[in-house]
Amino acid sequence: MGAQKSIHAGKAKIDVNVDFTHKICASMMIPSSRNSGSPLSLVIGSLCIKHPNLFGGSEKLDVSWDKGLYDSNILVAYRRPRPQWVAQQCFVMQHSLSPEIGVHGIPVDNFSRSGSGGVNLSRLSVGLDLNEPASSKWSSTTSIKFENVRLLSDDGRSITRDLDGFPVTCSGNAHDSMVVLKQESRYAKANDRSFSRFAMQIEQGIPVLSKWLIFNRFKFVASKGIKLGPAFLLTSMTGGSIVGDMAPYQAFAIGGLGSVRGYGEGAVGCGRSCLVANTELTFPLSKMLEGSVFLDCGTDLGSGRLVPGNPALRQGKPGSGVGLGYGLRFKSPLGHFQFDYAINAFQQKTLYFGITNLAS
């Protein structure tokens, strides 16, 4: 629900999207404890500027800005043309700001929701992406970036400690700096009745300076979908671990939509390691409407106590959880609407509402 507009200025294209959907969804949930400030703070939207031939040699420039209710993301990407058989280079500069709910959020209502813990993550990254030529089933991306992470309070002030007085950075200062080498590999195979997907991400912190973070972090996602008559069964597993230097915001958060439904974001736990399994069966109810039943479970594998400051223990998170429920999937020209109703191990019920693939 909003407005969209495309403007052509010479060879450049500007896409503007202003959306009130988040305001409507927020009104269905508990009111936020934050001061909204102005009516514009309740509007989400995006602005995208694309130039296909910046310097006359088919160089591409993309500038995008996305604003959420409490988060924002600015991305600048510059690409130069290269032969298709070599890695494609992209210079990227990005700044994001978002609430750190997964680790520092406070679980309420029997872990069904997570409230603000007064910690927000401001991340600035600058670097280079290399997209390797894709094979029939495999693709990979390598990137090297400098990152500066700063923690802010809800009113925008730099902080070094959380509400309980524990450090929120690895360095103990107002910010962490690091150079991160990242490798992402993806596999996909599909036919008329099933599909298989696998993605692996490995990050290595490079010690350019002695005070910068040194760590190795990996994460994988494996999924399998099978058609069972008119129904479709989807199973997936997500896991990861981190060794070396670590700040609390780097922990794996478990719980919420896309993880273990029935719990708030990060309300199951947060640890140096994690394992999450999801199973969902969807079945058609009409041409545009599908029903679903699902079962989610996740655990921090006992690693919550290894996170600096042990935020999961201080907030009473169980470290493992199971959620089950049912939902509806509505497909329309405007987008895909998802409603999920889940119950967790504490018999607390949660309603989720999401919108994806909005038409442009």
In the chain, where the domains are located: 82-356
Question: Quick check: 311 and 104 in contact, CB under 8 A?
Answer: yes
Provide the pLDDT for residue 99. 92
Q: What's the predicted TM-score (pTM) here?
A: 0.86
> Which residue from 64, 71, 63, 65 is spatially nearest to 22, judged by alpha carbons?
71
C-alpha dist (Å) from residue 182 to 79, 103, 131, 216: 19, 23, 12, 10
Provide the pLDDT for residue 117. 86
CATH of 82-356, one of 3.40.47.10, 2.40.160.50, 3.40.630.40, 3.90.1150.10: 2.40.160.50
Residues of the chain with pLDDT under 50: 1, 20-33, 358-360
φ/ψ of residue 39, rounded to 5: -60, -30
Provide the β-strand partners of residue 142.
130, 183
What is the Cα Rg of the chain in Å? Answer: 21
> Which residue from 204, 200, 197 is spatially nearest to 185, judged by alpha carbons?
200
Provide the pLDDT for residue 360. 41
Question: Quick check: 336 and 330 in contact, CB under 8 A?
Answer: yes
Residue 189 CB: number of other CB atoms within 10 A? 12
Question: Quick check: 249 and 149 in contact, CB under 8 A?
Answer: yes
